[in-house]
Structure formats: C-alpha cells, structure tokens
C-alpha cells in the first residue's frame, strides 16, 4: 500500500495505520492458561482444536419412526417389528426383513439404512405398514455429519462463542488453552477534568472519556486498570505510567495531551521511559494519535475530545487491543448502504460520520463536532466517507455498525 498517496501533508491513511498497529500488536501475545469450557466463554483460543472423535459418533435417527433396510421393503409395504430402540440404548443388529421401532437420537441398528417418520406409519400389533417409502438413507444422521474425525474444528485466535463451546463439548472436551485476559491501563489527562460527584467549578469539565473507555474495554473482554485523571505535568504523567507498570499493564491507553501544545505532557513523559511516534492519521474526527512504548509496554495516546476518543478507540484501539489479545479477526466487516443526504464539500481526510440506519438510507446526526458526544449516543454506526468524496442521496458508502465495534 502506498503511504499517504492521495493524502496531503503526510497524513497516514487509516488502512496503513491499522496495518502497522496490528503488526505491532502481534509482536507479542499474552501468556496462555488452561480453563474449563464454562470459564472459556468469549475468551480467545490459544491452540488449534482437532476432533478426537466423529460427531455424531454413530449413525442415528433424526425422527421418531421405524428403521429398516431400504432394499428389504416388500411390495405390500408391511414389515414385522423386531425391536424397540430408544435414545441412549444400544440396539441389536436388525433381523433381515424386519423393521425396528426407533426414536429421535437412537442409534441405527446394523443392517438398517433408512428411517420412516411415524406420521407415515400404521402400527398394527407387531407389524408396521409404510404408507410411503422414503428414499434410501432418509432421516438418518450419519456418523460424522457435524464433525469428521481428525478435522480441525477451531483455530488459534478464534473467540470462543456459545456455539463454539457447544461444539467442543460435543467432542467430549473439558478444558481449553486460552490467552490470559489483556490488562489495559487507562489514563485521562487534563487539568480541566473533574470526576462526576465533584462539585463543578469554572474552567472545569467532567471526565467523560474515563467511563466511556472503561465500558468499551470491558465490552471487548479486557481487564481495565483505571489510573484515573492525570494532571498536565510531566511528573504526574510519568508517575501514572509507573503505576501502570507496577500494576502489570499489558498496554497503556491515554486520552488527551497528545497534540503538540505546551500543555501536552504525554510526549515528554513517555519519551523519558521509551519511545513515541506521533501519527497524523487521515481520519476525522481524531487525527492525532500517538503510538509507542513505555519500558516495553505498548502505549497508545488517543486524542482528548470525547468524540475523537470514541471514533479512534473503535477504529484503531479496538483492532490493536484485540490483536494483542491474540484474536485473529480484528477488522470489522463494513456493509455498503445508500445515504439519504448530500455532502458537497469533500474533505482531505476520511470521515467517519455518526449515522443512523433508516429505510430511506443513512442519516447523519446534525452535530458532527469532535467535542460533542450526543451524536454517538443517537447513531447506530459510522458511515465512512472517503477523502475527496462528495455525496448525493442514494450514493453508497461503507457502514460500520456500532454493535460490531462494541463487541470483541
Ligand atoms: P487535549 O488533546 O488534551 O488538548 O484535549 C482536547 C480536548 O478534549 C479539550 O477540549 C479537552 O478539554 C477535552 N478533553 C480531554 N480529555 C477529556 C476527558 N477525559 N473528558 C472530556 N473531555 C476531555
Ligand atoms: Mg489536555
């Protein structure tokens, strides 16, 4: 990918930023631990899982009815019943020229190859008459229909969803190796910040990034080390970074203080212990993002404006953190959808508008300022407007639903 090809002022395209972030993230993964299946829900698998048996292990009936050998049905359609097989009970081999009463999930007796559903059977004492003869092999679940013996059922880096756990249980598996939950330290920088509960004073604002980031990280299945607010001095910022290290943080994420203003002390504090690159990403909102490390622990400096935090956390921090957690698939699927609005003036950065899906098309919130959070509450996703793109109603853009971005 050519860096900044169509972007002015050395702006880094979002895709390039993402490639770099993901490569950086994968350089080191957390340790692994073995947990029970129930404790493994939504964790990231650290090993490939192979099937030590077939599922189902034996051919069985998909219906309540009768089991028989298709070739043995006489022209009359009537067969003597020779045994009754319920689920959980081993059958005897089927006597030639007879049928077995069988129930859903019961093992097909040797010699039977077909099941007729009971709705198509007439039972007369110890005989059954087939009103219709189903095709050979009907209503039989063959061994290995779900999982073939020896096949790879899940791979390292997959999230263990509810059905994935069910699948593992169907193989008789009791424990799995998963990556230890990533511990992410968050710092909110800014002398202007108050915590909710503190009395308001002039020149202050309440810290909205802290609960927002905490909720996002929890939603992604990560552990949060909350370092609270950090004053705008190098000493306070360095002390916060040290607390993150002491607490065993795997990653540090800060908000604010990463522009290059006199009051932005993150740079000096991080540089005192490691390295920090300032990325000007061709992204709106959220151009300035800093990426580096402190004593070997990755550091991501998000902008301060809450809307910029929201968008950069979803677009950049999420893939980084999930990749660092060991997850393989970290980029959200985008859905092409038509817009229900016009945009005349194309921008020089890729813009992520907070929009709502409607039957008429995507509608943007009227207040797209990077300082305003209300649009993110109102919207149900982001519309991706490429740099240089103007829009007319019915034009199609990529839509990234929040429900995807809020999940790991
Ligand atoms: P900064 O990057 O530190 O200059 O911050 C940019 C803008 O975001 C300023 O208006 C800050 O007051 C605001 N801001 C920074 N951190 C927070 C926060 N935790 N909660 C709400 N607003 C913030
Ligand atoms: Mg600040």
Distance CA 101, CA 6 (A): 72
Q: What is the pLDDT of residue 346?
A: 87
* 37 found inside a domain: no
Range of the domain at 123: 60-141
Strand partners, 128: 79, 123
Distance CA 160, CA 168 (A): 10
> Could you tell me if 175 and 185 lie in one domain?
no
Phi, psi of 21 (to 5 degrees): -60, -45
- Positions in the chain whose pLDDT score sits under 50: 1-5
The best mutation among 188, 205, 229, 285 to test binding of ligand 1, ranked by most ligand atoms within 8 Å of the C-beta, falls on 205
Domain edge (last residue) among 141, 159, 192: 141
Q: What is the pLDDT of residue 262?
A: 77
Q: Whose CA is nearest to atom 14 of ligand 1?
A: 304
Domain edge (last residue) among 90, 114, 141: 141
Q: List residues near ligand 1 (CB under 6 A).
A: 188-190, 192-193, 205, 207-210, 255-257, 259, 303-306
* Cα-to-centroid distance, 305 and ligand 1 (Å): 5
Distance CA 382, CA 95 (A): 65
> Could you tell me if 134 and 155 lie in one domain?
no
* 397 found inside a domain: yes
* 36 found inside a domain: no
Q: What is the pLDDT of residue 1?
A: 37
Cis peptide before 285 (omega within 30 of 0): yes
* 194 found inside a domain: yes
Q: How far from the centroid of its chain's Cα atoms is residue 398's Cα?
A: 19
> Could you tell me if 92 and 232 lie in one domain?
no
Distance CA 32, CA 44 (A): 10
> Could you tell me if 341 and 395 lie in one domain?
yes
The best mutation among 237, 254, 304 to test binding of ligand 1, ranked by most ligand atoms within 8 Å of the C-beta, falls on 304
> Could you tell me if 207 and 71 lie in one domain?
no
* 38 found inside a domain: no
Q: Whose CA is nearest to atom 6 of ligand 1?
A: 304
* 328 found inside a domain: yes
> Could you tell me if 132 and 174 lie in one domain?
no
> Could you tell me if 130 and 173 lie in one domain?
no
Q: What is the pLDDT of residue 209?
A: 98
Distance CA 262, CA 240 (A): 19
Q: How far from the centroid of its chain's Cα atoms is residue 322's Cα?
A: 9
Q: What is the pLDDT of residue 259?
A: 78
* 35 found inside a domain: no
Distance CA 106, CA 86 (A): 5
Q: Which CATH number goes with the domain that contains 99? A: 2.170.190.11
> Could you tell me if 11 and 1 lie in one domain?
yes
Structural domains of the chain, count:
3
> Could you tell me if 272 and 258 lie in one domain?
yes
Pick the closest to residue 183 from 109, 250, 231 (CA basis): 250
> Could you tell me if 26 and 136 lie in one domain?
no
Q: Whose CA is nearest to atom 5 of ligand 1?
A: 304
> Could you tell me if 248 and 201 lie in one domain?
yes
CB within 8 A of 188, min separation 6: which ones?
Answer: 207, 209, 210, 228, 229, 230, 254, 255, 256
Q: What is the pLDDT of residue 8?
A: 66
> Which atom in ligand 1 lies closest to the alpha carbon of residue 261?
4
> Could you tell me if 385 and 308 lie in one domain?
yes
* Cα-to-centroid distance, 256 and ligand 2 (Å): 5
Verdict on whether the full-model pTM lies above 0.75 = yes
Q: What is the pLDDT of residue 6?
A: 57
Domain edge (last residue) among 87, 111, 141: 141
- Enter the tokens of residue 23: 């490569």
Q: Which CATH number goes with the domain that contains 248? A: 3.40.980.10
Distance CA 255, CA 400 (A): 23
* 40 found inside a domain: no
Strands 396-401 and 381-385: what pairing?
antiparallel
């Amino acid at each position: 990918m050519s860096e900044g090809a169509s972007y002015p002022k050395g702006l880094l395209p979002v895709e390039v930023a993402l490639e770099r972030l993901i490569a950086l993230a994968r350089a080191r993964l957390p340790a692994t631990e073995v947990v029970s299946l129930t404790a493994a829900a939504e964790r990231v698998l650290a090993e490939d899982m192979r099937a030590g048996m077939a599922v189902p292990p034996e051919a069985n009936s998909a219906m309540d009815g009768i089991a028989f050998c298709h070739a043995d049905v006489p022209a009359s359609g009537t067969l003597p019943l020779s045994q009754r097989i319920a689920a959980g009970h081993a059958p005897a081999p089927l006597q030639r020229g007879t049928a077995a009463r069988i129930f859903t999930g019961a093992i097909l007796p040797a010699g039977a190859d077909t099941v007729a559903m009971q709705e198509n059977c007439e039972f007369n004492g110890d005989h059954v008459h087939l009103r219709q003869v189903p095709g050979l092999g009907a209503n039989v679940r063959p061994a290995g229909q779900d999982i073939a013996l020896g096949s790879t059922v899940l791979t390292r880096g997959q999230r263990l969803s509810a059905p994935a756990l069910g699948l593992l249980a169907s193989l008789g598996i009791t424990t799995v190796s998963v990556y230890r939950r990533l511990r992410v330290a968050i710092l909110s920088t800014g002398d202007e910040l108050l915590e909710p509960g503190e009395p308001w004073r002039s020149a202050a604002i309440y810290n909205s990034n802290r609960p927002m980031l905490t909720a996002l990280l929890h939603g992604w299945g990560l552990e949060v080390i909350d370092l609270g607010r950090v004053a705008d001095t190098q000493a306070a910022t360095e002390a916060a970074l040290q607390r993150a290290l002491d607490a065993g943080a795997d990653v540090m994420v800060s908000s604010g203080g990463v522009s290059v203003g006199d009051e932005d002390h993150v740079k000096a504090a991080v540089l005192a212990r490691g390295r920090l690159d300032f990325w000007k990403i061709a992204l709106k909102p959220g151009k300035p993002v800093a990426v580096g490390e402190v004593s070997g622990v990755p550091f991501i400096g998000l902008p301060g404006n809450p809307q910029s935090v929201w968008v950069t956390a979803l677009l950049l921090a999420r893939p980084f953190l999930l990749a660092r957690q060991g997850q393989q698939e970290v980029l959200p699927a985008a859905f092409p959808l038509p817009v229900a609005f016009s945009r005349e003036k194309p921008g020089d950065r890729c813009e992520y508008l907070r929009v709502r899906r409607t039957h008429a098309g995507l509608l943007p919130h009227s207040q797209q300022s990077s300082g305003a959070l209300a649009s993110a509450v109102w919207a149900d996703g982001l519309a991706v407007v490429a740099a240089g793109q103007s829009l007319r109603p019915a034009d199609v853009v990529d839509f990234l639903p929040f429900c995807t971005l809020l999940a790991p």
